[in-house]
Structure 1
Amino acid sequence: MIINSPAIVVHSLRYGEADLIVKLFTKTSGLRSYLLKGVLKSKRGKIRSSFFQPLTLLEIEAVHKDKGTLERIKEAKISKPYLTLHSDLMKSSIVFFLSEILKNSIREEETNKDLFEYLETTLLWLDSHDNIGNFHISFMIKLTQYLGFYPDLSRIDSEYFNMQDGYFQKNDTNLYCVKGEHISKLKEFLGTTFEESMNIKLSKTLRSRVLNVLLLYFELHLHEFKKPKSLSILNEVFE
């Protein structure tokens, strides 16, 4: 079956001397993997390796056999070119980090247009704004809405955040109940707009602690989720 779809580059991996295996989140068919033969040596083809930088927005024409094997891309082009995302050091560090988050979070080969539109909208926002220190935190929190484990806010005034069950409570009942200034800051992100969350004041230490809580929260709610390898680079950039 031939499909035409917007797509977001989630991950790419060199295969042999000239091939790439790329993982794309498509608007019409969910997460798909493709084999791009000879793309690393081709200079005049319709498909270029430069198209497959992390989180690039593409328009693709592809052949899907739907047999659980690697699919084939016939044509690809950048649909909405970024101006700063891959050239600004802080933004590119965020991009590498979030591409790993998505690689470890999105599993299904199912259409999820709401998630696709969320990703596209927020990436374009990141590209066009400079006040981005809290972007990755707000991105991850709102991502949980689309993945099905956004925290229950009905008792948000309670002191403890029960990461295992995803709600706030008055008492410490398990190893994953946490409280403290970083949890108070986490609460500020919940229920705010994306733009408002950029103005939440965080020290370097608090930002790191909030992020670590979120990463553990993802680990608890997503099977086989792993901390991104790029986390150390992200922390260095924010120092």
Structure 2
Amino acid sequence: MLIKTNAIVLSKIKYRDNDLIVKCYTEKKGVVSYLLRGVLKSKKRNSKIAHFQLLSQLHIEENRKANHSLQTIKESRLAYVYKSAYTSVFKSAIIMFLAEVLSNTLKEEEQNEQLYNYLKTTLQWFDYQDEFSNFHLLFLLNLTKHLGFYPNTLEKNKPYFNISNGLFEPKKEGVYSISGNNLATLKQLLGMKFDRLHTIKLSSKQRQSFLSMILLYFELHLGDFKKPKSLQILNQVFN
């Protein structure tokens, strides 16, 4: 069956000599993996392979076969051409990091149009920005809305936040209760629009500390979440 859908590339791995296996988050079917035969052959390298960079946004026509773990793509074209996401070292580090997080967290093979639109619009916004050093922090925090564990903000005036249960608390309750700079940054980011991100000023140390907290938050709420290997590269670039 031929299906037309938009898709965002989450990961790619080489398979045999000339093939790629590409995992995408699609608008119509959620997470889908594709086998791209012969895409690494030299005569095709400059055309097809350029479409499948991390977090690239595509229009694809897939030949869907029921009960197959790997689908095939009949045709692909870019749905959006990034202006700076791949040419800036800093943005490329964020792209690599977020792609790894998304590949790790998005599992559902079903349509979620809200989530797809969130990924599409925020990545396009990011592409146009000159100030973006805190983008990944708000991106990950808002992603938890779609994954089902966004912090409960009803009592955000309380002096502690428990990353184990996602609640604000009046007193420290164990090792997962946070306060200080990380709590202050969390309260600033909750409900913030992306176009207000430039108002938050963080040192590289504060940014890394908050990111570590967010990743631990993911680990506590997603049983199979693994700390991204690209985290070290991201921290080095923004150090």
| TM-score normalised according to structure 2 size | 0.96
Alignment correspondent of 1:154: 154
RMSD: 1.4
Alignment correspondent of 1:175: 175
Q: How far apart, in 2, do the equivalents of 1:140 and 1:162 lie?
A: 17
Q: How far apart, in 1, do the equivalents of 2:78 and 2:46 lie?
A: 11
Counterpart AA for 2:84: T
Shift of 1:47: 6.5
Helix, strand or coil for the counterpart of 1:198?
helix
Helix, strand or coil for the counterpart of 1:79?
strand
Helix, strand or coil for the counterpart of 1:214?
helix
Alignment correspondent of 2:111: 111
Q: How far apart, in 2, do the equivalents of 1:38 and 1:78 lie?
A: 19
Q: How far apart, in 2, do the equivalents of 1:64 and 1:84 lie?
A: 33
Runs of 4+ in 1 over 4 A off after TM superposition: 44-47
Helix, strand or coil for the counterpart of 2:34?
strand
Counterpart AA for 2:137: I
Which runs of no fewer than 5 residues in structure 1 stay unpaired? none
Counterpart AA for 1:134: N
Helix, strand or coil for the counterpart of 2:150?
coil
Helix, strand or coil for the counterpart of 2:142?
helix
Alignment correspondent of 1:228: 228
Shift of 1:42: 5.4
Alignment correspondent of 1:215: 215
1:60/1:42 CA distance change after superposition, 3 Å: farther
Shift of 1:147: 1.0
Helix, strand or coil for the counterpart of 2:199?
coil
Shift of 1:154: 0.8
Q: How far apart, in 2, do the equivalents of 1:198 and 1:40 lie?
A: 40
Q: How far apart, in 2, do the equivalents of 1:46 and 1:112 lie?
A: 32
Alignment correspondent of 2:80: 80
Shift of 1:198: 2.9
Counterpart AA for 2:206: L
How many equivalent residue pairs? 239
User: What is the aligned-residue identity percentage?
Assistant: 44
In the alignment, structure 1 residue 124 sits paired with structure 2 residue 124: yes
Alignment correspondent of 1:238: 238
Q: How far apart, in 2, do the equivalents of 1:229 and 1:66 lie?
A: 33
Counterpart AA for 1:180: G
